[in-house]
């Protein structure tokens, strides 16, 4: 999703918006082909909140790599702070599972 949402900002700045939307949806389609079945399987083992926190951590990790390597944008200290908050979210959301 990161590439579908933000990749066009670098590569298709002068393209018509309808072309960018179509291409972005085409890219996102493949992620949905994996994400939807993963959630259907995951809900048997994890809570809805746990699935969401995992998804956000994966998204933030992929976005960090995307920002650095594709967009050539350095990450700031605030990105680090936000990442720490996500790690803490994971600790709290999985706390009952870990202590059991």
pLDDT per residue as tens digits for the range 32-76: 999 999 999 999 999 999 999 999 999 999 999 999 999 999 999
- For 29, phi then psi, to 5°, come to -55, -40
Q: Is the pTM of this model over 0.95?
A: no
Q: Which of these, 59, 83, 78, lies nearest to 1 by C-alpha position?
A: 59
* Contact (Cβ atoms closer than 8 angstroms) between residue 8 and residue 15: yes
Beta-carbon count within 10 A of 2 CB: 19
CA geometry: angle 2, 42, 95, nearest 5 deg: 95
Q: Is the pLDDT of residue 100 over 70?
A: no
Helix (H) or strand (E) holding 1: none
């Amino acid at each position: 999703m990161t590439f579908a949402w933000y990749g066009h900002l670098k590569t298709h700045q002068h393209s018509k918006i309808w072309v960018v939307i179509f291409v972005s949806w085409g890219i996102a389609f493949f992620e949905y082909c994996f994400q939807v079945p993963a959630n259907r399987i995951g809900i048997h083992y994890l809570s809805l909140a746990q699935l969401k926190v995992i998804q956000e951590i994966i998204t933030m990790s992929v976005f960090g790599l995307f920002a650095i390597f594709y967009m050539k944008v350095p990450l700031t200290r605030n990105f680090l702070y936000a990442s720490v908050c996500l790690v803490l979210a994971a600790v709290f959301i999985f706390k009952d599972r870990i202590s059991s």
